[in-house]
Amino acid sequence: MRTLAFLLFFMTGLLVGQPTDAAQEVRRDCDSCRFQVKTLDVPFSLIGTWLFTRDDQAQNKDIDLDTRTWTVIKAPGPWKNAYADGKVFSIGWYRAVFEFSPDLVGQEVVLLVSPYMARATVYLDGVDIYQRPNAASDERYYSIQPIPIRFKVSNSRHVFALRLDTQLMTGIYHLPFELRKFQPQDPGLIWEQFHGAELRLLAATLTFTFGAFFLLVYWKTRHGLYVYAALTSLAITPFFVVPTDYMLRFFPPEPLFYLHYPGLIFGYFIYRFSQYFHRFTPRINTVTGVLFGITSVTIAVMAVAPNLELFQKVRVVHLSLLLFLALGAGYMFAFGVLNKQPGSRIMFGGMLVFLATGINDFLLAVGQINSVVTMVGGIFVFVSAMLFVTCVIFSNTFRENKRLVGTLGTLNKHLEDLNTHLEEMVADRTRDLDVANKDLSTSFEQLRMAKDELVRSEKLAALGALVAGIAHELNTPIGNGLMAISTLRDELLTFRKDMASKGLQRKTFDNFLITIDTASDITNRSLSRSAELVRSFKQLSIDQATDARRRFSVKEQVAGVLLMLKPTLNRTPYQIETFIAPDMTMDSYPGALVQVVTNLVNNALVHGFDGRDHGHIRIQIEPAGPGYMVMRFADDGKGIAEDVLPRIFDPFFTTKMGQGGSGLGLHITYNAVTITLGGTLHVESRPGNGTAFTMTLPLCAPSPVKPDALAPSG
């Protein structure tokens, strides 16, 4: 009887089929196969290995499902290592068994899970308890926030299943991932909802408002710093807005998921903005701009034509470009700090925060760490720092303009007062002026002639520097040519003696031919170099000595001046560094430009580096809007005292009186820039921190105007 009963029991087991989920042996490599929840006084962490499958079957939610064919995967974490075949897929199922202690039965709990913008369906014991997106307009989407799945513990054992449909190949994306006791007012949930939704909207409002403002400022000022601040703010706005619950109530999640990625092109504009704190990199700008544009457009197109496999590859390039440009911007800001550029410390600090949060999110995306998403906060901090610094620059400019307007107002008031009493003053002074007018006219004419003579002398002094330069440069090729001719003459005398005494031998003749060939080559190259230098000097001297107008290359003209000044500089420990945009031409007066560069170099050598054993001059020329260029001439010399700075352009003012200074160098420079070249000239200097002259020049000079006798002060 016992044997028969055993056989009947065995056959019944075969007829019933495979064991249920409860009867299966708990897998040692699977944490979710048995979560034993004994208390919820502190949140119960769900981090670990979970049952997972990409087979999208309706029965995956069933309680009695056989899961022995399922794999296990780290959660949170990406899906790419779940299967060895390397295929991409968008749908994945997670499954877990919760065993609750008896005292937890009857309590309400909240399970927090963060599937980044994915379609999600949650099952508890085979019953659908949550879906997103949901048709109900009053429910939150919880776009990039943890979804709070609320349910009541009705049994000591519950089977949990989660179906996700995502383009990220990462299902459960970030923390928090835990089970916690339900509280009507849970501070943790309130913070997560604010951080993932309301804060993004506040950031988007800030960036859009300031972006539009600085775009208007750029339209009025045409200063590049403002346009890149504006484009950074406007580009990041979609990244903040698109993934919010409000957008996902009206649009499907898939196109919005793709459309928020192009907003990361703001990293390119950050890099362009950072160059105003150190130096410009045109080639890197072009290459990264093209690559970032291609990846952004490619991902944007996927909003209407999705391609999961292509997206996985383009996304890596897109994020790598962002990280590369962020590191480049950090490099620029760091040098700005070293060079004591205003605002660079704040920008460098904001960039460090952004880089720290970006590296955190990158490691999170590749599954190297379990963490919370922080880059949104880092972006917000950096953009806030950028907008603050830009506002400070704008406000300082505004205050300076207001101060100038106030000065003009005071001057206008004085003029009105003078005009009120002008008739009386004229009547009183006419008699005296009639007597002194003749003497005054004579004295004025003498002064004018003396001033013109000094100006011509100053120009000739600069021309003399060029003459010294060409003489030094000509010495080498002419000396080489003379040496070659002398050698050839000596060889000719020897050749004649050998012919007269020994007769002509083949070896002697061949050696003589070699000598002739070598001497001819050296002489030819030396004379060609001399001719080239003479042509260059002739053009520079003509440009400087005449008022001829022509079209010329800015880079070649400046290079020619520096070549002629090279012998002077070689006798000093000082160096000149140039950054000149290529292919920039002017229809202007090259002589005036030569005079400006020569005078500023001489001014730095005589005044800026006086008594110093080192010095560095930086000449930077770049486009500045349609039809203009900016030339910045900066040195790291002694700087100019505050009481001297307003008078440096006054004629005959010099701090080297009696030591060779005429006081006309900067006066001539001012007239050349503002009158002949039709531009503006601004100087910045602080004692001990060097001097910088900034000139904004039109690429097409205005019609010639006869310069005034005196240039304005300041």
Residues 214-230: tens digit of each pLDDT:
899 889 888 888 999 99
Dist. CA 372–CA 126, nearest whole Å = 30
Q: Which of 520-524, 590-594, 700-704 is predicted with the least confidence, judged by mean pLDDT?
A: 520-524
Q: Which phi and psi (to 5°) does residue 375 adopt?
A: -65, -30
What pLDDT does 691 receive? 93
- CA geometry: angle 435, 437, 442, nearest 5 deg: 125
CB within 8 Å of 645: residues ≥ 6 apart: 683, 685
* CA of residue 680 relative to chain centroid, distance: 27
Q: What is the pLDDT of residue 152?
A: 93
How far is it, in rounded angstroms, from Cα 460 to Cα 466? 10
Name which of 242-251, 431-440, 506-515, 567-576 the model is least confident about: 431-440
- Which carries the bigger pLDDT value, residue 368 or residue 299? 299
How many Cα atoms sit within 13 Å of 548 on the Cβ side? 11
- For the record, the structure tokens of 242 come out as 């698109």
Q: Which among 81, 78, 153 has a CA at the least distance from the CA of 116?
A: 78
Please tell me the distance from the alpha carbon of residue 613 to that of residue 609, in angstroms, as a whole number. 8
What average pLDDT does the segment 685-699 reach? 91
pLDDT of 134 > 50? The answer is yes
Tokens of 595: 């005079």
Q: In this structure, are strands 35-37 and 91-100 parallel, antiparallel, or unpaired?
A: parallel
The answer to whether the CB of 238 falls within 8 A of the CB of 260 is yes
Element (H, E) at 555: helix 554-570
Return d(Cα 634, Cα 692) in angstroms, integer.
4
Measured CA to CA in angstroms, residue 388 lies from 214, 222, 239, 303, 395 at distances of: 12, 20, 21, 35, 10
Give the 3-state secondary structure percentages of the chain, helix then strand then coil, rounded to 5.
55, 15, 30
Single-letter amino acid code for the residue at 247: M
Confidence of residue 137 (pLDDT cuts 50, 70, 90): low
Of 208, 114, 204, 127, whose CA–CA distance to 164 is shortest?
114
Hey, what are 313's tokens?
A: 């590859």
Residue 484 has pLDDT above 60, yes or no: yes
